Amino acid sequence: MPTRTASAKWEGGLKGGNGSFKGQTGLGGSYSFGSRFEDAVGSNPEELLAAAEAACFSMALSAGLEKAGFAPTSVETTAACTIEKVGEGFKITTMKLTTTASVPNLDDAQFQAIAQATKEGCPVSGALKGNVAIDLTARLAG
Protein backbone atom coordinates (compact mmCIF):
# COMPACT_ATOMS: atom_id res chain seq x y z
CA MET A 1 0.00 0.00 0.00
CA PRO A 2 1.24 3.52 -0.72
CA THR A 3 2.53 6.02 1.79
CA ARG A 4 1.31 9.59 1.30
CA THR A 5 3.40 12.62 2.21
CA ALA A 6 2.93 16.26 3.06
CA SER A 7 5.19 18.93 4.51
CA ALA A 8 4.71 22.08 6.55
CA LYS A 9 6.89 25.04 7.44
CA TRP A 10 6.30 27.52 10.27
CA GLU A 11 8.13 30.84 10.48
CA GLY A 12 8.20 33.11 13.51
CA GLY A 13 6.64 32.85 16.93
CA LEU A 14 3.31 31.29 17.76
CA LYS A 15 1.00 34.30 17.59
CA GLY A 16 2.90 36.43 15.08
CA GLY A 17 4.19 33.68 12.84
CA ASN A 18 2.70 31.95 9.86
CA GLY A 19 2.99 28.64 8.11
CA SER A 20 2.37 26.85 4.90
CA PHE A 21 1.78 23.23 3.97
CA LYS A 22 1.92 21.24 0.79
CA GLY A 23 0.91 17.71 -0.07
CA GLN A 24 2.52 15.52 -2.70
CA THR A 25 -0.33 16.16 -5.16
CA GLY A 26 -0.04 19.94 -4.88
CA LEU A 27 -2.73 20.44 -2.25
CA GLY A 28 -1.52 23.34 -0.16
CA GLY A 29 -2.32 26.42 1.81
CA SER A 30 -1.25 28.81 4.48
CA TYR A 31 -2.16 28.97 8.15
CA SER A 32 -1.56 31.14 11.21
CA PHE A 33 -2.49 31.35 14.85
CA GLY A 34 -5.45 33.46 13.78
CA SER A 35 -6.70 30.98 11.18
CA ARG A 36 -6.38 28.14 13.65
CA PHE A 37 -7.66 29.58 16.92
CA GLU A 38 -9.58 32.66 15.78
CA ASP A 39 -11.54 33.66 12.67
CA ALA A 40 -8.69 34.87 10.45
CA VAL A 41 -8.43 33.88 6.80
CA GLY A 42 -6.38 30.78 6.04
CA SER A 43 -6.40 27.07 6.56
CA ASN A 44 -5.50 25.00 9.61
CA PRO A 45 -4.72 21.41 10.60
CA GLU A 46 -8.30 20.81 11.76
CA GLU A 47 -9.69 21.71 8.32
CA LEU A 48 -7.29 19.21 6.75
CA LEU A 49 -8.25 16.53 9.26
CA ALA A 50 -11.95 17.21 8.62
CA ALA A 51 -11.38 16.92 4.85
CA ALA A 52 -9.55 13.62 5.34
CA GLU A 53 -12.35 12.25 7.54
CA ALA A 54 -15.12 13.39 5.14
CA ALA A 55 -13.37 11.90 2.11
CA CYS A 56 -12.51 8.64 3.83
CA PHE A 57 -15.97 8.20 5.36
CA SER A 58 -17.77 8.86 2.05
CA MET A 59 -15.60 6.32 0.25
CA ALA A 60 -15.88 3.73 3.05
CA LEU A 61 -19.68 4.14 3.29
CA SER A 62 -19.98 3.59 -0.45
CA ALA A 63 -17.90 0.41 -0.10
CA GLY A 64 -19.99 -0.78 2.87
CA LEU A 65 -23.22 -0.21 0.98
CA GLU A 66 -21.91 -2.14 -2.03
CA LYS A 67 -20.72 -4.99 0.20
CA ALA A 68 -24.24 -5.19 1.64
CA GLY A 69 -25.67 -5.53 -1.87
CA PHE A 70 -26.79 -1.95 -2.52
CA ALA A 71 -25.77 0.42 -5.31
CA PRO A 72 -25.23 3.93 -3.95
CA THR A 73 -25.52 6.74 -6.48
CA SER A 74 -23.94 9.34 -4.20
CA VAL A 75 -22.57 9.81 -0.70
CA GLU A 76 -21.85 13.32 0.58
CA THR A 77 -20.24 13.89 3.98
CA THR A 78 -19.43 17.05 5.89
CA ALA A 79 -17.00 16.78 8.80
CA ALA A 80 -16.61 19.42 11.50
CA CYS A 81 -13.42 19.12 13.55
CA THR A 82 -13.35 20.99 16.88
CA ILE A 83 -10.23 22.05 18.75
CA GLU A 84 -10.59 23.30 22.31
CA LYS A 85 -8.39 24.56 25.10
CA VAL A 86 -7.84 21.68 27.53
CA GLY A 87 -5.69 22.41 30.55
CA GLU A 88 -2.60 24.32 29.47
CA GLY A 89 -2.82 23.27 25.83
CA PHE A 90 -5.21 22.49 23.03
CA LYS A 91 -6.85 19.22 22.00
CA ILE A 92 -8.93 18.10 19.06
CA THR A 93 -12.01 16.94 20.93
CA THR A 94 -14.77 16.19 18.44
CA MET A 95 -15.33 15.21 14.83
CA LYS A 96 -18.97 15.61 13.78
CA LEU A 97 -19.95 13.82 10.60
CA THR A 98 -23.10 14.59 8.66
CA THR A 99 -23.66 12.32 5.70
CA THR A 100 -26.39 12.04 3.11
CA ALA A 101 -26.55 9.12 0.71
CA SER A 102 -28.71 8.33 -2.26
CA VAL A 103 -29.20 4.57 -2.31
CA PRO A 104 -32.08 2.90 -4.15
CA ASN A 105 -34.02 0.12 -2.40
CA LEU A 106 -32.51 0.67 1.05
CA ASP A 107 -34.55 1.29 4.18
CA ASP A 108 -33.40 3.66 6.90
CA ALA A 109 -32.73 0.98 9.54
CA GLN A 110 -30.34 -0.88 7.23
CA PHE A 111 -28.71 2.38 6.20
CA GLN A 112 -28.16 3.47 9.82
CA ALA A 113 -26.55 0.12 10.66
CA ILE A 114 -24.17 0.34 7.68
CA ALA A 115 -23.35 3.99 8.44
CA GLN A 116 -22.55 3.20 12.09
CA ALA A 117 -20.36 0.26 11.06
CA THR A 118 -18.57 2.57 8.64
CA LYS A 119 -17.91 5.04 11.44
CA GLU A 120 -16.16 2.24 13.31
CA GLY A 121 -14.30 0.86 10.29
CA CYS A 122 -13.24 3.92 8.28
CA PRO A 123 -9.41 4.16 8.36
CA VAL A 124 -9.34 7.84 9.38
CA SER A 125 -11.97 7.22 12.07
CA GLY A 126 -9.80 4.36 13.28
CA ALA A 127 -6.83 6.71 13.61
CA LEU A 128 -8.94 9.06 15.75
CA LYS A 129 -10.73 6.37 17.78
CA GLY A 130 -10.11 6.54 21.51
CA ASN A 131 -8.80 10.09 21.27
CA VAL A 132 -11.50 12.12 19.51
CA ALA A 133 -15.27 11.75 19.94
CA ILE A 134 -16.84 10.97 16.56
CA ASP A 135 -20.51 11.87 16.20
CA LEU A 136 -22.53 10.77 13.16
CA THR A 137 -25.77 12.00 11.68
CA ALA A 138 -26.71 9.94 8.63
CA ARG A 139 -29.71 10.30 6.36
CA LEU A 140 -30.94 8.82 3.14
CA ALA A 141 -31.73 11.27 0.37
CA GLY A 142 -35.41 11.27 -0.50
Does residue 96 share a domain with residue 118?
Answer: yes
| Interval 18-57: pLDDT, tens | 999 999 999 999 999 999 999 999 999 999 999 999 999 9
Does 1 map to a domain? no
What is the pTM (predicted TM-score) of this model? 0.93
Query: Is the residue at 10 inside a domain?
Result: yes
In this prediction, residue 101 carries a pLDDT of 98
pLDDT attached to residue 1: 84
Residues 89 and 54 in one domain: yes
Which residues lie below 8 Å from residue 120, measured CB to CB, with a gap of 6+? 126, 129
Segments in the chain below pLDDT 50: none
Q: Is 69 within a domain?
A: yes
| pLDDT (0 to 100) of residue 142 | 72
Asked if residue 99 and residue 77 are part of one domain, the reply reads yes
Identify the domain containing residue 24 by its residue range: 6-37
- Per the CB < 8 A criterion, the answer to whether 45 and 53 are in contact is no
Domains held by the chain: number:
2
